[in-house]
Amino acid sequence: MKKVIGITGGIASGKSNVCNIISNLGYVVINCDKITNDLSEIDGPIYKAIIKEFGEEYLTFDMKLDKKKLAKYIFHDNDAKERLNSVTHPIIIDEVKRLLTLVDDGLVFVEAPLLYEAKIEDMFDKVICVFLKKKIQVERLMAREGIDEDYALAKIHSQMDLYMKKELADYVIDSKGSFDETKSQVINIINELKGV
């Protein structure tokens, strides 16, 4: 029997690390960010949807999506962010569903940063939240992206509060510790999901 497990969290909370561990353990991990990037290539369905919604001023000189310009725009305009989500989320969800049909049995994981924001929790048998206290999250984001504290906080606050996600999830992985500590939590959850 197939079990579909959602993985969510906040920006720089350690989702990618958790998903790499799961993938290295031999499980299928479907990555919504990768789907978004793949379908945003020239003439892809997300590319076309964004140009239709926002216009060609969000293209670079070589006709690719100007993701930085678009991100800057939607970051400061909530209505624009809602418009972007309304045209891109259905495409991403359809592709996730298609990829899930390719897996017949066992555990399959979907990394969906905006799982609760997109209201797709019903797609999953269980949800794992990768959690990190805000102070460490800010420090990691600043180091990763070379940004100051104010901008890091603004990016974090643009997403649903991580403490709320933690409360809604079935399982929580606290990623503040070492790689081995995180891996141990992952293995424990997988064993529980498998009924070991």
Structure confidence by residue, pLDDT tens digits, 112-148 = 999 999 999 999 999 999 999 999 999 999 999 999 9
> Quick check: 196 pLDDT over 80?
no
Higher-confidence position of 30 and 158: 30
Q: For the whole model, what pTM was predicted?
A: 0.92
> Quick check: 75 pLDDT over 90?
no
> Quick check: 72 pLDDT over 90?
no
Beta bridge partners of 3: 107
Phi, psi of 176 (to 5 degrees): -75, -25
Complete domains list, the chain, with CATH: 2-194 (3.40.50.300)
Q: Could you tell me what percentage of the chain is helix, strand and coil, using 3-state DSSP and rounding each to the nearest 5?
A: 55, 15, 30
Question: Residue 151, SS3?
Answer: helix
Question: What pLDDT is stored for residue 84 in this prediction?
Answer: 94
Question: What pLDDT is stored for residue 159 in this prediction?
Answer: 87
pLDDT band at 94 (very low <50, low <70, confident <90, very high): very high
> Quick check: 181 pLDDT over 70?
yes
Place of tokens 């990037």: 37
User: Which residues, including other chains, have CB under 8 Å from residue 35's CB and lie 6 or more apart?
Assistant: 92, 95, 96, 99
CB 138 within 8 A of CB 156: yes
| Average pLDDT score over the chain | 94
Report pLDDT digits (tens) over 14-67.
999 999 999 999 999 999 999 999 999 999 999 999 999 999 999 999 999 999
CA torsion angle for 7, 11, 12, 16 (degrees, to 10)? Answer: 30
Which of these, 18, 35, 48, 14, lies nearest to 139 by C-alpha position? 14
**Average confidence (pLDDT) over 142-163:** 90
Number of H helices, E strands in the chain: 9, 5
